[in-house]
Amino acid sequence: MRKKIVAGNWKMNMNLDETKQLIKQINKEIKAEELADNTRVIIAPSFVNLKTAIKKVSKSNIEVAAQNVHQAKNGAFTGEISADMLTSVGVKIVILGHSERREYFRETDELLAQKVTAALENNLEIIFCFGEVLEDRKSNNYFKVVESQLKNGLFHLDKEDFSKIILAYEPVWAIGTGETASPEQAQEMHAFVRENIDKQYGQEVANNVSILYGGSVKPVNAKEIFSKQDVDGGLIGGAALNANDFTAIIKSV
Ligand code: PEP
């Protein structure tokens, strides 16, 4: 059975003390024994705080993800972080393809395909983000855009590797804007994505892949969005920085 997942993307927020404090508050609210067997909670602090975060969640079921990884094994890439460096400090998951990486750092589908391969070679699980911009939504181009992001970023993988991917549909017009896709819009896209995966990898893989929704999920709208058949949880930005909001969202999944 596929997992329900709530993942918090902290982006470039939270220094060391704030990281410790937020994890302490989340730990207090979310007791290990309260999480259902098929539910996962993931937080993604900044690179420099990953090791501390891993230590701080060691007694809970909360998992820690990195927000990015470089595609090369190692070498002269000043300021970058390799997959091997992440695994060496205990990271097991990485977010790839976030719209902010695609937009501000010019990460293309082709580059993301390389990053996906590098991460998998180092046994990192991947939360792979994709989604259309407002223009594509308005011009009814959104299915095409998503189809090509999946094909170019992920469909080079074989079945076994694809099974290590968590998908996150994040319509760019809903990220950090306060505007959420309606539960029906989310369901429509998630069903389309699952159908595409069925075509590429078969029904078993399609049924087992978790597809998260991301874009202005808050305690007030989480339950309704998560109630949709093909929505398996959320990737949370702003609301993940507040322990009360984040834990309320976790309890809605
Ligand atoms: C995100 O950046 O992945 C995100 C979903 O942000 P927010 O929840 O703030 O819209």
pLDDT score recorded for residue 177: 86
Does 176 contact ligand 1 (Cβ within 6 A)?
Answer: yes
Residue 76 tokens, joined: 């002269």
Residue 61: Cβ-neighbour burial (10 angstroms; 0-12, 13-18, 19+): middle
Out of 170, 173, 225, give the residue to mutate to test ligand 1, the one with the largest number of ligand atoms within 8 Å of its CB: 170
The closest alpha carbon to 159, from 205, 112, 123, 196, belongs to 205
Residue 132 phi, psi (nearest 5): -90, 155
Does 245 contact ligand 1 (Cβ within 6 A)?
Answer: no
- Residue 95: beta bridge partners? 127
- The answer to whether residues 95 and 67 touch, using CB atoms and an 8 Å cutoff, is yes
The Å distance, Cα 202 to ligand 1 centre, comes to 30
The Å distance, Cα 120 to ligand 1 centre, comes to 24
pLDDT score recorded for residue 32: 66
Task: Encode the chain (253 residues) as per-residue pLDDT tens digits.
Answer: 899 999 999 999 999 999 999 999 999 998 766 788 899 999 999 999 999 999 999 989 999 999 999 999 999 999 999 999 999 999 999 999 999 999 999 999 999 999 999 999 999 999 999 999 999 999 999 999 999 999 999 999 999 999 999 999 999 999 988 888 999 999 999 999 999 999 999 999 999 999 999 999 999 999 999 999 999 999 999 999 999 999 999 999 9
pLDDT score recorded for residue 179: 83
Does 202 contact ligand 1 (Cβ within 6 A)?
Answer: no
Q: DSSP string covering 12-57, please? A: S---HHHHHHHHHHHHHHS-GGGS-TTEEEEEE--GGGHHHHHHHT
pLDDT score recorded for residue 121: 98
List active site positions: 98, 170
Q: In 10 A of CB 177, how many CB atoms? A: 12
Q: In 10 A of CB 75, how many CB atoms? A: 8
pLDDT score recorded for residue 170: 97
